[in-house]
Amino acid sequence: MNTLLEQIVTDCGHYASQGQVAHYIPQLAVVNPNKVGIYVISENGENFHAGDCFDTFTMQSVVKPLILLLALMDSGSEKVRALVGVEATGKPFDAFNYSDQALTGANINPMINTGAIALCTLIEGDTYDIKFARLLELARKLAGNDELDVDESVYLSEKETGNKNRALSYMLKAYGLIDDPVEEILDCYFKACSILVNCKDLAQIANVFAHHGRNPATGEEIFSKEFARYVNATLATCGMYDGSGGFALNVGFPAKSGVGGGIMGVIPNRMGIGVFAPALDKHGNSVAGVEMLKRFSQVMDLSIY
C-alpha cells in the first residue's frame, strides 16, 4: 500500500501547478503550494502514508462536519434540521445569493460558511469560549491526538480579515436565523477553522465516521450511528462545495475539503483518508488532493456508487 501511495503522490504532485493557495486569508497565502501528502487508515487499523503527510495545516472547512456533529450531539437532529437544510446550494461556499426568496434555513447547509456559523449557536456552553473548548475536545478525541490546538497566527489573520463572514453572519441575523452576538459566534468559528492538523489526524477522524461513530482502534462508541449517517450523507452531497457532484462521480465517497488544502475522505465500513495539497481549484478544493483521491479510489475500487 505504501508503494501505491508513493506512486500516487509522485504522479499527482504536478497538479499543484494548476491551482493557487488561498490568498484571502493572509497567513494561508504564504504556504508552500507544492506540498503533497496522503495518509490512509484501514478498517483493521493499519496505517499507510506518503509525501508530506506529517506537515501541519489548519482544518478550515474540514472542521464543519465536527461542528455539525457536536450540534447534533448537543441539540439533536430536529433542532439542527430546523436551523439548516441538507440540500446542496450549487453556490460557492461563501456566497450570498442562495435563493431568490427570503433566506431560510432550508436554503443553506452545514458544509457552507453560513450553515456552519449558524450551527455554532447549537453547541452547548454558557460562553462561546466554552463552546469552542468542547469542539476542540471533540476534535482531539476523534483524531486520537490530545495535542491538537489552534494556530494562533491563522486565527488572528482570519479574525482581522474575515469581513465577508461578518457580512454573512449579519445576513443570518437579519433573517432571524441567529440571535447571539455576531463577533462572539465568529470568534468560535474562526478558532475552529484554525485548528492545526496533519493528514494522519484527518484520516483518524474520517475512520471514526467511516465506522459509524465507533473508534475501531479502541472500540469506543463516540457518537451514534444516526448522527454518523447524518454527517456522512451531508458530506456526500455537499462536502466538496459546488464541486460535490463532480467529486461524487469521479471519486465516489463522502469527503470534506478546506481551503487550507486538506481533504478528509470517508469510505464507509472500510477506511479513513487524509490528504494535503494546498493549491486550490476554482471551487476551493485541493487540485492535487482531489486527483490523488480519484486515483486511489479507482485503484482500490472505493466508490460507494
Domain 2-60+195-300, CATH 3.10.580.10 — does that match? no
pLDDT for 99 equals: 67
Cα–Cα distance, 98 to 163 (Å, whole number): 19
Write out the catalytic residue numbers: 61, 64, 189, 241, 259
- Residue bearing the bigger pLDDT, 101 or 246: 246
How far apart (Å, rounded) are the C-alpha atoms in residues 12 and 148?
28
Distance CA 151, CA 132 (A): 14
Query: By three-state DSSP, how is residue 2 classified?
Result: helix
Q: Where are the domains of the chain?
A: 2-60+195-300, 63-193
Intrachain domains 2-60+195-300 and 63-193 with the same fold: yes
CATH 3.40.710.10 fits 63-193, yes or no: yes
Residue 174: exposure state from Cβ atoms within 10 A (0-12, 13-18, ≥19)? exposed
Tell me what pLDDT residue 100 has. 61
Angle at which helices 128-143 and 64-83 pack, to 10 degrees?
120
Q: Does position 110 have pLDDT exceeding 70, yes or no?
A: yes
> What is this structure's pTM?
0.97
R_g over Cα of the chain? 18
Q: What is the pLDDT of residue 234?
A: 98
